[in-house]
Amino acid sequence: MTAIDSSHSATSSSGSIATRSTLLGTIAAYLTASDHKRIGRLLISISAIFAIATAIEGAILGIERISPSSSIVDADIIVQLFSALRFDLIFSVAAPMMLGLAVAVVPMQVGARALAFARSAMFGFYLWLFGVILVGTSYLNNGGPGGGNAEMVDLFLVGLGLVIAGLLLISTSVATTVLASRRAGMTLIETPIFSWSALVASVSMLLTLPVVAGAIIYVAVDHAYERATFGATEGVNAWIGWAFTTPQIFIVAIPTLGVLAQIVATMTRGKQPLRAGLLVGVGLMSTAVIGAVTQSSHTVSFSGSASDVLKSLIPYLFFNHLSILGVFIVLGLSLLALKNERAKLNAAFVPAFLGVGMVLTGMIGGAIFKITNLKLANTVFEEAVLVYVCYGAVLSGIGAVAYFGPRIWGREIPSAPVIGLGLLGFLATVLASLPYFIAGFADQPASIANNFDYSGPIWLWNSLVGAGHALMALVVLLFFAIATKSFRSGTISSATSADLFESVNG
């Protein structure tokens, strides 16, 4: 008899205990994580999974609209699918992906040892995830805005409230890290441009999301008790719908400017020309906050007297075009920096640049949408704007993971697939959106899949949109697989932490 029992049963038993304890340990580690890289990875990964699901949803809706006289999806769930697409693009994909990047990267950039109030950010992540699950459950059971099941509509409102609370907690954590945890000697003006964009986006969310929450409280109380003041289930869209459209959606895309400027600034290895202009450009994009909190659409009409036109033109320009000017400034200064002879192309630049291009196209589309003479209201034009901005954010997210990933997780990601997927993602975004810009002018109605008609190749536009969404699902899936494999077993990265900063002083 020996002191060590090497029998098979003992080994397997202890093995299973070890496995169990490892599994429990992993679960416990994820539940109580305070490491910013882990929290960021969770947000990015889960929003990428939701991006695939959302793109499939978009593909189904595109296919459904190819032939308005026949349907492949039950007519009762079409309303839910349209509403779910809008919710998912903003609150399940773009916002958490951008905040996840900020959580993972900002503490390293500002030289902080940890994310400020990291457990609060982790709690925010779980609130957001639980909220998205509740919203999904509500949609699956005839809930959501305009849903037929009143209890599920209530569940939707609760879920949306939780999503907002979660995003608020994460935003607070990111903004506090930039403001309170910078290393000694780093002034706010010297903060790396991505961290600056994360700060601007976080503060913008902190100012606009409570306004959505205020509307949700009124609608939820009314829906639970009276169902008259705010228009019962149909009123949900009327009072909260602004949170799913322009200019609120521009706020979630603010970090895309930071990603591009950061990549360009470190690619050139020189002093960023007019760096303060970059900070101003990112800040200008946040003027979308002013338009969002008014909870109304600032349109312009070019008919009537000159004074009438002027009366609507000034608020229209102020609320819609200032943020576009910010994107132009950042794009212009980034391209100016690329004139540096020492500039060396980084693969991540391709998706990041194309992502900002898509966001800009969506923003210009949003401004065109608000010219009432064009009669684009209630057409699919608005859906195209939303898809341009949110898929632009996804493309930018791909660029950011490719660029920051090796610096965070220590392993390289191959350049060729990043460039290839960036180009494919660009094609997917254009296919999923551009046809609806055209179909919008041809009066294809929004949120309707059957019984509509207009002069034009209906089948062509809708087939292209369906194909675009399907291609985007494939792009995100492939990038997710490549990134996971590379960061687990890829070659050791030679990137240094210095690559996380742009040169401030030349």
Q: Which residues bind another protein (CB under 8 A)?
A: 111-113, 116-117, 168, 172, 175-176, 179-185, 206-208, 210-211, 213-215, 217-218, 221-222, 225-226, 228-229, 293, 295
Phi-psi region for residue 304, left (φ > 0), alpha (ψ -120 to 50) or beta? left
Q: Taking the complex as a whole, how short is the minimal distance between the CB of residue 138 and another protein, in angstroms? A: 21
| Nearest to another protein of 337, 408 (CB atom) | 408
| Nearest to another protein of 187, 307 (CB atom) | 187
| Nearest to another protein of 66, 216 (CB atom) | 216
CB atoms within 10 A of CB 47: 28
Q: Taking the complex as a whole, how short is the minimal distance between the CB of residue 447 and another protein, in angstroms? A: 25
Q: Taking the complex as a whole, how short is the minimal distance between the CB of residue 4 and another protein, in angstroms? A: 39
Phi-psi region for residue 231, left (φ > 0), alpha (ψ -120 to 50) or beta? left
Buried residues in 364-403 as b, exposed as e (16+ CB within 10 A): bbbbbbbbbeeebeebbbbbbbbbbbbbbbbbbbbbbbbb
Which residues lie below 8 Å from residue 472, measured CB to CB, with a gap of 6+?
51, 55, 58, 391, 394, 425, 428, 429, 432
The answer to whether the Cα torsion of 364, 370, 374, 376 is positive or negative is positive
The secondary element (H helix, E strand) that includes residue 196 is helix 193-225
Q: Taking the complex as a whole, how short is the minimal distance between the CB of residue 192 and another protein, in angstroms? A: 15
Residue with tokens 């000694």: 184
Find out whether 78 and 446 touch, Cβ atoms under 8 Å. Answer: no
Q: How far apart are CA 260 and CA 202, in angstroms?
A: 18
| Nearest to another protein of 88, 499 (CB atom) | 499
| Nearest to another protein of 185, 506 (CB atom) | 185
Phi-psi region for residue 74, left (φ > 0), alpha (ψ -120 to 50) or beta? beta
| Nearest to another protein of 217, 481 (CB atom) | 217
Q: Taking the complex as a whole, how short is the minimal distance between the CB of residue 159 and another protein, in angstroms? A: 18
Q: Taking the complex as a whole, how short is the minimal distance between the CB of residue 229 and another protein, in angstroms? A: 4
CB atoms within 10 A of CB 93: 28
| Nearest to another protein of 114, 133 (CB atom) | 114
Which residues lie below 8 Å from residue 11, measured CB to CB, with a gap of 6+?
none
| Nearest to another protein of 93, 121 (CB atom) | 121
Q: Taking the complex as a whole, how short is the minimal distance between the CB of residue 252 and another protein, in angstroms? A: 17
Q: Taking the complex as a whole, how short is the minimal distance between the CB of residue 271 and another protein, in angstroms? A: 22
Q: Taking the complex as a whole, how short is the minimal distance between the CB of residue 171 and another protein, in angstroms? A: 8
First CA to last CA across the chain, in angstroms?
73
| Nearest to another protein of 291, 425 (CB atom) | 291
| Nearest to another protein of 118, 384 (CB atom) | 118
β-strand partners of 124: none
CB atoms within 10 A of CB 296: 11
Q: Taking the complex as a whole, how short is the minimal distance between the CB of residue 128 and another protein, in angstroms? A: 16
β-strand partners of 300: 371
Is the bond preceding residue 247 a cis peptide, omega within 30 degrees? yes
| Nearest to another protein of 181, 301 (CB atom) | 181
Q: Taking the complex as a whole, how short is the minimal distance between the CB of residue 290 and another protein, in angstroms? A: 12
**Nearest-CA neighbor of 361 among 381, 338, 375?**
381
Which residues lie below 8 Å from residue 126, measured CB to CB, with a gap of 6+?
166
